[in-house]
Structure 1
Amino acid sequence: MAQDAVFFLAPDDEAAAGTRLRGPGAEFESVTCRFIDADSAIAEWDLYFAEPSAGLPPIERLHGWAWPEWVTDPLNDGIEVFALPERLTRALAGASPAALEELAGRWTARLGAEDGDGMTDDDLPTVLRGVARLAASAVEAGGGLYCWSF
């Protein structure tokens, strides 16, 4: 089910977990994307850097990929807080503009195949560039990259 997602920079899992009820707000530098499944987006990005290709891998490959880990226990309220894998954070931080464009194209194709007209109306290349900037800050500052989703 598509949700709103806020990708944000936090010093550690404890600080990220503290956003659970209220979201990251202005306290943390962030990038917002509407109407996506945050966990599948994170898995898609991670798979791309592990196995680069402009084409979509089969959905079974994506579903078999390592999914992000929660930093808070999931409850029935629909709020999720994930930690992006460190390897993905580093990959995003070091990604070239061309790689981010290719990834955005692949992600757009996946969302279109799954959600059709219901996919996000956000500019996905802009979202990815923003998340990559956060990743670079996380690598430089020693913090982590997280996603709050509702």
Structure 2
Amino acid sequence: MAHDTVFFHAPDDEAAAATRLRGPGTAFESVTCRFIEPDSAIAEWDMFFEEPSGEAPPLEQLLGWAWPEWVTAPLNDGVELFALPKRLTRALANASSAELEELASRWTTRLWSEDGDEMTDDDLLAVLQGVARLAASAVNTGGGLYSWSF
């Protein structure tokens, strides 16, 4: 399980790839969440907006969903750098408060069923609200939304 995941907005894949070794740091506005798997979170968020439902998807359905693309090739150092799909970035940028609340509830339910007491202590609604603000910035400036984790 990833320890720290940082969602951030960058102008393009090249700028995001430059964060590979040390993370986005203060160079980019970001939102941090601890103890989540960013690829499954991104897939779940994308699924929510493409096929809205308050119910957490069965694991088989989630695993069959389109997963985010790597920005840099994976190495054995534990760093993961993903680009969020453009459609998800737009959906997050345009999401209503009610949609973010419903998604946070669904995401919390899934994480609790998988991780139980080991689940993140972060406020997942606050994380999603922060990521939605980053998504709006990415849409407005033509950049992309990324996740970096270690």
The TM tier, using the shorter chain, reads: over 0.9
The C-alpha deviation readout for 1:53-100, integer Å capped at 9, x for no partner, is: 111121100000000000000000000110000000000000000000
Does 2:12 match 1:8?
no
Shift of 1:3: 2.7
Instruction: Determine the structure 1 residue equivalent to 2:31.
Output: 31
The C-alpha deviation readout for 1:20-51, integer Å capped at 9, x for no partner, is: 00100000000000000000000000000011
Q: Runs of 4+ in structure 1 displaced over 3 angstroms? A: none
Distance across 2 between alignment mates of 1:3 and 1:144: 23
Distance across 1 between alignment mates of 2:129 and 2:56: 20
Aligned residues: 150
Distance across 2 between alignment mates of 1:137 and 1:2: 26
Does 2:121 match 1:121?
yes
Show the 5 A alignment for 1:1-150.
1-150=1-150
Shift of 1:121: 0.3
Distance across 1 between alignment mates of 2:86 and 2:62: 18
Distance across 1 between alignment mates of 2:56 and 2:111: 11
What 5-or-longer segments of structure 2 have no aligned partner? none
| Identical residues among aligned pairs (%) | 77
Shift of 1:149: 0.7
Contact 2:68 2:83 (C-alpha < 8 Å) held by counterparts: yes
Shift of 1:2: 3.7
Distance across 2 between alignment mates of 1:111 and 1:37: 10
**Corresponding letter in the other structure for 1:133:** R
**Corresponding letter in the other structure for 1:46:** D
Distance across 1 between alignment mates of 2:129 and 2:115: 22
Distance across 1 between alignment mates of 2:109 and 2:36: 13
Q: Normalising by structure 1, report the TM-score.
A: 0.99
Q: Normalising by structure 2, report the TM-score.
A: 0.99
Contact 2:104 2:128 (C-alpha < 8 Å) held by counterparts: yes
